[in-house]
Structure 1
Amino acid sequence: MNYQVAKKTFASWIKSGITPFEILNALRKLQVVGINLDQEDDPQVIFESINSTGVALTNSDLIRNFLLMDDHNQDQLFDTYWIPIETLLRRNNSNNDLDQFFRQYLITKKNSTIMERKVYFEFVDLFKKQRFTHESALQELKTYAKIYASFLYPDEAKYNDQIRDYLRELKQLGQTTCYPFLLHVFKDFQDQRIDEKTLTSVLSLITTYLIRRSICNVSTNSLNTLFAYLYARVFKVAQNKEKYYEAINKYLFSQKGKNEIPADEVVKYALKHSNLYQNQELCRILLLDVENGDSKEKLATQNLTIEHIMP
């Protein structure tokens, strides 16, 4: 994998005008530093100390090293778990989606908001409190990564067309704040605690909630907190899982103030008077829904642009 990255990087440098001779000269200036550790030294602590003085690694880099660095079964864990996780979430040589996954995963597990700069430390804390082994932690991460990949790439998701449509709309809206809550819900579906109909109903509710707020241009500032706590608050009463969708629906419709669902009259007014044209992804979703309705032959969405419509 490192070879492929290096090859691609060198090729891009040469294409930009840098000569092979200049690249070779630069490589000759590289230095490799070896650090000998005593038996009582913790390699992870040494690694963290060195990392804190140089260019900071990403959260996914730190978590990978924490889970793999001092494990006697490092190669097997890397091939069985880490490579599949990276394949699912790390595309275009960017760690961004992978880093976001770890943050959303931790929000799901801790049912609380987590700042980006605290992700690694929160992961280590979770690892210790849950009494994970390196393998059990990687195993769980792989399970959640498969779910999270369906949020990022709905067209590749192995769900029915209706579920993929909702995931596609959520991605178009850019409403990633709901992902920690949906990780809970999709995990319940995967564990057969809910059926496909319930999963679809919950997705419809969340999508409708977010679309209505977008139409009315309601601030999204409170959504991080709402979705971080939503699952824990709805199901703190165990019996609510017997009425899964109904319990979530009731909780959302009971919200007041900044988290309430905009009423029909407010939505109708916004549709008539708000400048929706500025949010072209929202316009695309609404117009396609009007166009397609319940038709089995859906209008293709590729290469469509939003244009002015005569009254």
Structure 2
Amino acid sequence: MDAGVRRVMGLISEMNVRYVVPVYQRPYSWGEEQCLQLWDDILACGRSREQTHFTGSIVTMQDGTASPQGVAALAVIDGQQRITTIALLLVALARYADAHGKERLPFSRQEILMSGYLTNPFRSGDDHYKLTLSKGDRATFRAVIDQLEDPSRPAPEGPSRILDNLALFERRLDALANVATVWEGLRRLEVVSVTMAQGRDNAQLIFESMNSTGKDLSAADLIRNFVLMKYPLDRQAQAYQTYWRPLEDVLAPLGDEGAFDDFIRCFFQMAYAPERLGNADLYQVFKRYVSANAYDVNDRMGFLCLRLKDFAGYYVDAVRGGLSGADDADPVARRTSFHLAGIARLGGAAARPLVLELFRSCRRRECTREQLANMLGVLESYLLRRAVCDCEGSAQEHFLRHLVAKLAAVRSAGEKYYESYVALFLVEEGTPRRFPTDDEFRRALVTRDCFGFAQAPFVLARLNARLAAGSAAGASTADAASGSAADAAGEDATVARAAAGVPGSAADASALPEGWGVEHVMPVGALSDPAWAQALGPDARLAFERGVNALGNLAPSAYPYDLQDGTLAQKQGRLARDGEGRAMDVPLCRDVLAAQAWGPAQIEARSRTLASVALGAWPLPHVDAAALEAFRPSRRAAQVKTVTWQDLVDAGVVQMDDVLVSASPMYPGRATVTSTGRIMLATGETFDEPTAAYERFLGSVGAHETGLNGWTHWRLGEGGPLLDQLR
């Protein structure tokens, strides 16, 4: 590694050298604030002719080779924002000189072009350009240079930081009395230049040390750099296109610059449950994960990217609330999307690690696709019931984090995944983490203020879809409430009707149609209206306060604000029409439309009816008593196994030269027990416990799986017992 203080102009004008920003670096991102800070530094330096100015560092990596034209490419590890901005200022100076040819300037367009600041004048192709940027910036920057060399070429257009900052410098130069000051300041600008040799210097460690504050780079930047720096310079572009770009493409539909950081935090909250992780932790956690799973050896970083891409797809589905590319004719896929939409509305980021865990279990064939849809339905019911019952949010977040960890233990123990999942919800009965019972849920729906409830539109949309499904099966609202015909129609009918766009419901039954809102049947101004006040009865104020925001007094409407204080007949007329004034059938409004009067009795009756429909829409799950009993806290404590690998060695249960055989038909392999009782893989690596050995074994055969328990995946001899059975 060579390091020293250099003048910037001398550094970038070296002959037969070009600077390449690697694909893993983020795009050019300096804004006006950073550009003006550099501008001020250059002016201060130019006005003080006896001083130089230090402006940071430029770190490059070379591989010791040159192109056929004799040009060496140096990868810019740190300092690309600075060097790009200086290049833009040089372009602005060249344009200024060209436009002000009569002024006596210490520089010219020709000098800037021919002195190697922006180009290698006598080289062609990539070697011609002194600076090659990454990704979308490359074409724009090269077009700027091409147009500077040949003004007849069209100027680049479109939104770009490159063009914005170039225009900023041109405006500043035009407003400056003495432009020579800028040229003089540039000539006196200094940096620490660090040049490393590939294979000899650790670029990643140097990169981290120069970005240790974490203020400039996101977790996505750091992780992308870490992954692609594992490849030689000549393979980084290919690795980016093959492994990293597909991961970015999967997350692209979210349209959020922070999507990767949010995804990777969610992934690690699943992988390391129940740990809490903040954005500041993500890079270190990523490196820990890579090391623990040996992704940093044997060219396995690509396997990690492919694994992350799969989970990124699950994450996007969780955020957007639906399966990407699902077949609408597949009822299981429709149900899965139906519940993902509900979870996205109700659970937010806290529920996503669990959703990823459920997708992982299905991918590993620990549950069927049907069971996955059912488990998502259980989660939606849990979230909705707790929201309606105003259960403690922190307890829920705690439970969801620990549930992911408990499911990993279920997997390791080889227990039935689906039954265990349901049981883990139900054993929380009587705790702050409980799954509200039917009685608690019904009582809350009937008595609470539902108009002020944030999820009221969602609840009404889902109830409407449920009633529409009952109608398709020939059921009345009363039948739907009793469960007879609606349950016969089943959840699939609810989902199918919603997907078909049932009138009065959203296509996914997770929101009211655009422009619709929640209407009070008995208006909020009822006490001021003689007819409505009479309908409220002798104790009008008490009846009003109990009923105005009750579930039974709410209805979806395309005109939620037009008739806030209208009569019952006027309300009924609006509830029977869509936003274009056309007649339509909204199942949730049928009983309101059929009413001859509307007062406390009708409101309470409808509240109870809709509460019963809700019990079917968000049911309490069931599991057999044996599965439930197995997860009672006292029983689980008694089942914990404390025998260690060393205990088996000391007892002679396993001995030197014993063979351990992978129990997975997908990943056959063997290990042996050494004379010191360690587990030795075919690679020669040794481990002091089964899980670490099995994780490394999976890595050595290119498996994507992680988090598997070695006790339940190693057998003692061919066809022998699992190690877990020996404890």
- What TM-score does the superposition give when structure 1 sets the normalisation length? 0.85
Contact 2:274 2:404 in 1 (8 A): no
Contact 2:457 2:518 in 1 (8 A): no
Task: Indicate the residue corresponding to 2:393 in structure 1.
Answer: 220
**Superposed CA offset, 1:200-223 (max 9, x none):** 110010110011111112232233
Cα 1:59–1:222 shift into 2, 3 Å: farther
Task: Indicate the residue corresponding to 1:2 in structure 2.
Answer: 136
Task: Indicate the residue corresponding to 2:37 in structure 1.
Answer: none
Task: Indicate the residue corresponding to 2:350 in structure 1.
Answer: 177
Select the structure that is richer in strand: 2
The Cα of 1:63 is off from its aligned counterpart by: 0.9
Cα 1:31–1:79 shift into 2, 3 Å: farther
Distance 1:194 1:263 in 2: 26
Cα 1:89–1:276 shift into 2, 3 Å: farther
Task: Indicate the residue corresponding to 2:303 in structure 1.
Answer: 136
The Cα of 1:40 is off from its aligned counterpart by: 4.1
Stretches of 4+ moved more than 6 A in 1?
Answer: 26-33
SS of equivalent residue, structure 2 residue 518: coil
Distance 2:161 2:449 in 1: 47
The Cα of 1:257 is off from its aligned counterpart by: 1.9
Task: Indicate the residue corresponding to 1:153 in structure 2.
Answer: 320
1:105 aligns with 2:267: yes
Contact 2:350 2:400 in 1 (8 A): yes
Task: Indicate the residue corresponding to 1:245 in structure 2.
Answer: 418
**Superposed CA offset, 1:70-104 (max 9, x none):** 41232222112211211221457633221111011
Distance 1:148 1:59 in 2: 17
Indicate the RMSD between aligned Cα atoms, in angstroms.
3.2
Task: Indicate the residue corresponding to 2:88 in structure 1.
Answer: none
1:303 aligns with 2:514: yes
The Cα of 1:25 is off from its aligned counterpart by: 5.7
The Cα of 1:242 is off from its aligned counterpart by: 5.6
Cα 1:33–1:135 shift into 2, 3 Å: farther
The Cα of 1:121 is off from its aligned counterpart by: 0.7
Match among 44, 68, 79 for residue 204 of structure 2: 44
Equivalent AA in structure 2 for residue 101 of structure 1: F
Cα 1:23–1:259 shift into 2, 3 Å: farther
Number of aligned residues: 305
Task: Indicate the residue corresponding to 1:83 in structure 2.
Answer: 245
Distance 2:407 2:200 in 1: 47
> Tell me, which stretches of 5 or more residues in structure 2 are unaligned?
1-134, 141-157, 174-181, 327-332, 470-493, 499-504, 507-511, 522-552, 554-727
Contact 1:216 1:267 in 2 (8 A): yes
Equivalent AA in structure 1 for residue 159 of structure 2: K
**Superposed CA offset, 1:95-119 (max 9, x none):** 3221111011111112222321211
The Cα of 1:245 is off from its aligned counterpart by: 2.0
Equivalent AA in structure 2 for residue 154 of structure 1: G
Match among 13, 21, 25 for residue 167 of structure 2: 21
Select the structure that is richer in helix: 1
The worse-fitting range, judged by mean Cα deviation, of 171-180 and 211-220 is 171-180
Task: Indicate the residue corresponding to 1:192 in structure 2.
Answer: 365
Distance 2:172 2:215 in 1: 19
Q: Quick one: percent identity of the two aligned structures?
A: 22
Choose 1 or 2 for highest CA Rg: 2
The worse-fitting range, judged by mean Cα deviation, of 116-125 and 53-62 is 53-62
The Cα of 1:24 is off from its aligned counterpart by: 4.7
> Tell me, which stretches of 5 or more residues in structure 1 are unaligned?
none
Equivalent AA in structure 2 for residue 225 of structure 1: H
Equivalent AA in structure 2 for residue 139 of structure 1: L
Distance 1:203 1:222 in 2: 20
Q: What does 1:66-81 align with in structure 2 at a 5 Å threshold? A: 66-72=226-232, 73-81=235-243
Distance 2:418 2:170 in 1: 61
Equivalent AA in structure 1 for residue 167 of structure 2: F
Distance 1:158 1:167 in 2: 14
The Cα of 1:46 is off from its aligned counterpart by: 1.2
Cα 1:90–1:244 shift into 2, 3 Å: same
Equivalent AA in structure 2 for residue 135 of structure 1: G
Distance 1:191 1:10 in 2: 45
The worse-fitting range, judged by mean Cα deviation, of 189-198 and 300-309 is 300-309
Contact 1:81 1:139 in 2 (8 A): yes
Distance 2:446 2:248 in 1: 45
Contact 2:457 2:517 in 1 (8 A): yes
**Superposed CA offset, 1:158-186 (max 9, x none):** 44111111111111224321211221211
Distance 1:32 1:5 in 2: 27
Distance 2:386 2:409 in 1: 26
